[in-house]
Amino acid sequence: MKNNITWWEKFSPTIMEAEVPQKFIDIINNTGDEVLEDNGLSKKFDFSDNLVGKVHKEVSIPVPEENKSYCLSILRQACVRYLRQMISLGRAYEWTKKSGGNQNPSEENIMLSQSWIVSQYKHEYNPIHTHSGNFSGVIYLKLPDDMENHFNEETKDHYPASGLIEFSHGEKQDFKSDTLMFKPAVGQMLVFPNWLKHTVYPFYCEGERRSMSFNAYWKV
């Protein structure tokens, strides 16, 4: 995982924004192409019954054995960085209690529980939902060719939302924001606590928006 990390704390729950290497994107996209383009494999690895999305296909990711350790390490590194940030802020309450105050967790303390690809097309969306685990994340793998023009048109609206992911927390009050939106970009990774509510709005241009989501736990 690359080092250019941004920490977003618009409404207290922390969202980590980072960038994954091109090698990681290529591995997951190659695996995704193989599964998504084959109806038999799509059915075999179908993950949609576990999810809320109203989208084209949602499939688990059968990463080739020779690439599995590399891909797992990228995801575990992201979770470790998130956990260390929470420890430094004094917010990792359960971890601190159960680990005996360990200030320096490592990849060995992270267990990936689920990962899947979301293949989304025009008019499709994900309603507001939460995840399982301690950490959740999304990585953007592909965007439609015309998505940038779509975003440019969308910003002319009084409340640009289509094509974006939106996080929400708490109630709207004076001097307080309760939502935070992100414009997807290929290679962008967002890591956040599993309980943080979020939704993905539909977009209105042709082509596939592909992302990878994952859930992970910390273990002592």
Percent of the chain with pLDDT over 70: 99
pLDDT number for residue 6: 95
Task: Give the model confidence (pLDDT) of 19-70 as tens digits.
Answer: 999 999 999 999 999 999 999 999 899 888 877 777 888 899 999 999 999 9
Q: How confident is the model at residue 3 (pLDDT cuts 50, 70, 90)?
A: confident
pLDDT number for residue 27: 97
Task: Give the model confidence (pLDDT) of 137-188 as tens digits.
Answer: 999 999 999 999 888 888 888 888 999 999 999 887 888 888 999 999 999 9
**CB-CB neighbours of 6 under 10 Å:** 10
Mean of the per-residue pLDDT values for the chain?
Answer: 93
Contacts 24+ apart (CB under 8 A), 168-176: 168/128, 168/197, 168/198, 168/199, 169/11, 169/12, 169/13, 169/196, 169/197, 170/11, 176/11
Domains of the chain: 6-218 (2.60.120.620)
Q: How confident is the model at residue 123 (pLDDT cuts 50, 70, 90)?
A: very high
Task: Give the model confidence (pLDDT) of 92-121 as tens digits.
Answer: 999 999 999 999 999 999 999 999 999 999
Percent helix / strand / coil, the chain, rounded to 5: 30, 30, 40
pLDDT number for residue 46: 87
Least confident of 2-11, 40-49, 87-96, 194-203: 2-11
Question: Does position 1 have pLDDT exceeding 80, yes or no?
Answer: no
Name the 3-class secondary structure at 27. helix
pLDDT number for residue 176: 80
Strand partners, 209: 120
Average pLDDT over residues 205-216: 96
pLDDT number for residue 93: 95
